[in-house]
Structure formats: C-alpha cells, structure tokens
Structure 1
Amino acid sequence: MAGVSQTMVSLVLNGRAASAGVTEETQKRVRDIIEELGYVPNVAARSLRGGRNGILGVHTFEPVFPVVLGDYYHDFLVGIEEQAIRMGQDLLLFASTQSEDGTRSIYGRGTNRLVLADGSVMLGMRTNDEELTRLAGEGYPFVFIGKRDVAGVAFPYVTADYEGATAGAVQLLHDHGHRRLGYLGLIHRIVPLDLRLRGFEHGMASLGADGTTPWLLDPTRLTSEWVADRLAEGITAFLVESIDLVDPFVAAVAGLGLEVPSDLSVVLLDVAPKDSVANGWSRIGLPRREQGPAERHAASAAARWRDLRRPFRDRRM
C-alpha cells in the first residue's frame, strides 16, 4: 500500500530509516499507512528474529509489591516504572516464580523463566545464591538494586553510599562536640548493614576518636539498664543502624526519663516510616526512587547478550 519494500517498512518500524538514507517523505508515507491499517508488530516474532523484545523483567525472591504508598519498596518500583517510560520499554513482573510455600525460584519449573525478558532488575532482601550463580553463568543480564555478595561471582548492582553517608554522620556529630559515640546495630547482618558499620569505623578512625566498638544485639536486649550503662561509659550520642531498633531504643530511653533528641543525640541510619517517632530525628535518607532507574544498566547488558545469542545518595540531617 505504501509502494515500498518490506525492508523499507522494517527500517521505519525499527527507527533506522533516517540513518539508512530514507527520506522523511517516504517515512511519513509508511507511518501513515501503518496508522491507517492499525498495524502492530508481533513482539514474539520480532524477538525470535532480532533477539530483543523490548521487555524488561522485575524479579524478587520474596513478595515486595507495595500495598500502601508508605511501603519500603514503593519508591524503588516507581523509579523503575519511570525509567521504563523514558526508555520506551515494557515491564514484566515475574510472579509465576512463586511456589505454594511462598518462596520464589527462577528455575522452579525446570527452566529459566526470566528469559521471557531481555534482562531483569532484581530487588528485595532475600536471595538464592545458587540460582544467582547459575544465572550469571548463563550470561543472562540482570542488575540488583542493593549490593549482594555471592562468593566467586561478580554481578552488577546499584546501591546507596551507606559507608560514606555514615562516615559523614560521624563527622557531623564530632563537629557538634560529641567525642564518644555509640553504634547500635542488629545482630543479624546483611550487606547494607555491614556497609553502615564500616562507615562508622572509618569515620571514627579518621577522627582518631574513642568509642569505636559497636554494639550488635537483638532488639529485646535494649533495656533502660543497657542504655544507662552506655551513658555511664561517657557515650553522648548514638548512631542507630536500623528502624527495627527505634521503638525498643525509645522505650529504653523513656524508662530513664529521657527523650530523643532533647536529652540524647541520635542519628538514624535507615528510612523511617511516616508514622515513626524517628521522623523527628536526624537521619540518613535512602534515595530509593533514584535507584529504581538501575534498569537502564540491565537493558544495556540485555542488548549485548541478545546480540551474542542472535546466531542461533540522598542524606538529611
């Protein structure tokens, strides 16, 4: 109908007409006919022929899709969607990987479900190191939001500068006259928590300050007596590692007739929900929405992977 070859139509559809020297008049004629016919390319067929389908996956090893706007993962997913819009890509949430017991497996049905997408963005706290090792070995492109350590395997990730931000908090407290700082952390460790702790240790070391021994404990051990002992040791300010420690810490301090921040200086190194008392504290914010666009890295890697297969910090104080 447009009076051109199939190849010419393909060039227009794939955005390569101008570089191939096709005139704007011809391109417009082809686009007008496409609109008149209501033609839509077959995505599955294009994937088989050209190796890419314009779909990026989102996978987690746990249910994370927000049910309320205040959900921890909400901003991450908003950032992912915004980047997909900018890139003109579709998103595919892999929910079929979940089994009856609530766990999720990439290979739960015997094959890699993620290959339905050109590449995938991973997020969530849980991981399956064995599956990630296998996935990386297959050359499938993916990027994690948040650093993940898997022995013997290196894969891309996007994360906040927990270490630098925590060291900055140490410096700020020091600038305000605090010399003995208490670091309060969780006994169960994950990589982001270790990075915060490392930032504290480095910050204290750079200042040549005392009180660099952190306390890692279960929240149930946070009692008024424990806080009183720390204050007796000369601690004048605390860095609280996780939101999970906030409520028991506040209760322990209140048991001594004290309040934060009027009687005791505290910096929270985590995100505080809107209804948390910690919203009135000095704290380090996490740029979750800005980390969401990590998917552009997965898309770039996906393009290279498909081509190879074709032959067959925000901080607030």
Structure 2
Amino acid sequence: MTRPRIPRQSDIARLAGVSQATVSMVLNDRAAENRIPESTQQRIREAMTELGYAPNIAAQSLRGGRSGLIGVHTFERVFPTAPDDYYREFLNGIEEQAVDSGLDLVLFASTQKPDGTRSIYGSGSNRMRLADGAIILGFEKNDDEIHRLSDEGFPFVFIGRREVEGLDIPFVTADYAAAMEPVVRTLVDAGHRTVTYLAAPLRALAQQERLEGFEAAIAVAEHDVTYRVEVRPEADVTADWVRAMRRSGSTAIVVETFDLARALASALADANLVAPRDLSVISLDDDPRGGGAFSHVRVPRRAMGRRAVELLLSVIEGVDAPTFAAPVHCEPPTGETVGAPAPAALAPSA
C-alpha cells in the first residue's frame, strides 16, 4: 500500500499562487514585518486547510521559530494516575490555560532514568528544546541542570518557589504568608490564646513560608497568643501526643500539611477526642482526597497551574524580568473544626 505524500510548503505556494518564501514567512509569524497583505495570508491559510498541511514543529524549533508547544518537566515521577493525586490539579490548570492560549503540551517522560528520577540532559542534549519553553514542577530539582538551562537562555518557570544559588528563577507560588493572617484571626476571634503549630520534618520552602507567615500574623494579633512549634513525622502524631498537647494548655492545633492532618485525625479518634469540642484544628493544606477532616486553607493548585502558563508566555516574550514571582491568592480557612477553647484536660477514657 502506497502512503499518501505529505504536503509541503511548495504545494501550498502553488495552490495559493504565491512564492514559497511568502508561505514560510506566514508560517513563521513574520507576515506583518514583511508587509504581506491579509488577503494573501488568508489564501495561504485556506490552501493549508485544503491540503491538510501540518507544520513540522521540530524543524520550526531548530530554526529558532515558535513551535506552539510548551513542555512540562519533573525531576521525579509525578504525573498522576489517580483523581486524588496531589499534582493532578496543577496539571489540570496547565492544560486549561494551554487550551485557552491555543498551545499544545509535551510531557517529557522519556527523560526518566532507571531509578525513577528524570534528567533534562540525560541524552546529552536538552530535549525540551522541541518546545518554546517549559514548566517544571515537583519537589526534586537538579541545580546543575537548572544552571545549564539558564545559560542556554531556555525559557522556564517553576511551580513552587525555588532557590538556586546564583540564579533568579521565575516561579508561581501560593501566597502562603498572606493566607496565615485569616488563620490566626479565626483562632483569636474564637478565643484561643495557646496554640500548637504541628510542622513537617521536611522543611521545603512552601512549609517555611507557611511557618514564617504564621509567626508574623501572631506577632500582630490583637491579643497575645502563645504558640509552640512541634516538628514531628506522621508516625509520632499519636493519641498520647495529642493528650500531652492538651495538658500543656494548647486549645488549638495548626497542622502544616495534609499528610500530618490525616495522622492527626487518626490520633484524635484514638484519644476519643472530637474537634472542635475538645480541640480546635486548622490544616494549612487541603487534602487532595477531598478537603480532609478539618477546617483548612485551600491551596489554589489549579490556579497556580494556569498562572504558570501565563508567566511562561511572559518569559518567552521577554515581558517580565526573570526575577518575576507570581503569588496566587489562597481562600480563607473553611470548615467547622474551630470553636471556643475547651478546658485542657486528660482525654476521657474510651
């Protein structure tokens, strides 16, 4: 069976009655600078449609033209397979904004190594150059490769704040600092004056921003509030620990991550305690399974994905300086696990 011949630019030129150079200028968005009339551009587009022509995006990229592709890269395996995956909403937002912007997405999965990590330069060259730029997300990063990307002038944006020595990296993040003020105000208005902040051992920049924002909001609260920071892995959040917090005088717990919130929910159940009757709780992250057991701050993951595409397009166009950071607003805490302080006491026996 003979395969049909793929139409070429010369075929478009012949059908539209123009030179191949004119076709090339239209395909590479150089029609305006070369004063090609709109009527001629329209004939070329109609010829493309009639012939079923699709531009060779790889060749366009190699020539320095725009491919209309943006890449998504991670240094670890994060592309979701389940609806409750943490990264799913980021990717949903990226996809939505790409559709609105008339762009196609490339997920760079072939960069994965046998140990599950991913390398931009694993094959010796930057495979992401097939795209006009890339959004990078996930917890892991490779500083050497980020430096190399920057040296090449390849446009990229991180989701989540990233710090690499010697570089100013454009990134999108939730406005965690601003989100902590309504958290503290909610607790203070309910009458809480002694609060435990339950922090994750892994101190990523997002976690540090939450804690710093919480401490700043405490410092300017209308009433004096005493707080203690407890850094604990999930396995150490137990019924005995919750009882000890209550005996120490804490009437509320601010829990930093949804993983710790899950552990705290189990610990409260084991201690036969109920929020907010016995202890008020606010989580600083919503559980991707569906909000979680406690009042919580909703991290705007989908909005962050959309904003990352917008920021990347600005970087590609040179509109924003490379130091540009895009904080995304977090909604105030919602839920029903904050109430008036309960007397600190030994947990009732089961």
Of 83-92 and 117-126, the range deviating more from structure 2: 83-92
Distance in 2, matches of 1:147 and 1:266, equals 27
Q: Which of residues 177, 184, 195 in structure 1 aligns to 2:191?
A: 177
- Aligned partner (choices 42, 62, 66) of residue 56 of structure 2: 42
Match of 1:80 among 66, 90, 94: 94
| Offset at residue 22 of structure 1 (A) | 5.0
In the alignment, which residue of structure 2 is the partner of 1:136? 150
Give identity over the alignment, percent. Answer: 47
Instruction: Output the TM-score relative to the length of structure 1.
Output: 0.88
Aligned residue pair count: 308
Which residue is 2:235 aligned to? Answer: 220
What do the CA deviations read for 1:49-73 (whole angstroms, capped 9, x no partner)?
A: 3432222111001111111122111
1:290 corresponds to 2:303: yes
Cα distance between partner residues in 1 of 2:195 and 2:59: 62
Unpaired segments of 5 or more residues in structure 2? 1-14, 320-328, 335-350
Q: What does residue 281 of structure 2 align with?
A: 266
> What RMSD in Å do the two structures reach over aligned CA positions?
2.4
State whether structure 2 residue 256 is matched by structure 1 residue 256. no
Q: Does 1:206 align with 2:225?
A: no
8 Å CA contact retained: 1:261, 1:281: no
1:11-30 equivalent positions in 2, closer than 5 A: 11-14=25-28, 17=31, 22-30=36-44
Decide which moves more: 248-257 or 96-105: 248-257
Alignment partners' CA distance in 2, 1:16 and 1:116 = 20
- Deviation for aligned residue 1:33: 2.5
Matches within 5 A, 1:304-315: 304=318, 313-315=329-331
User: What is the TM-score when the length of structure 2 is the normalising length?
Assistant: 0.80
Task: Show structure 1 runs of 4+ deviating over 6 A.
Answer: none
Higher alpha-carbon deviation: 242-251 or 57-66: 242-251
Shift of 1:214: 1.0
1:164 to 154, 161, 178: 178
Q: CA deviation at 1:24?
A: 4.7
- Which has the higher mean CA deviation after the structures are superposed, 255-264 or 186-195? 255-264
Structure 2: distance between partners of 1:8 and 1:97: 37
In the alignment, structure 1 segments of 5+ residues that lack a partner are 306-312
CA gap 1:212/1:2 in 2 versus in 1, 3 angstroms: same
The structure-2 alpha-carbon separation of the partners of 1:20 and 1:5, relative to structure 1 and needing over 3 Å to count, comes to: same
Q: Per-residue deviation at 1:270?
A: 1.0
Write 1 or 2 for the structure with the bigger share of helix: 1
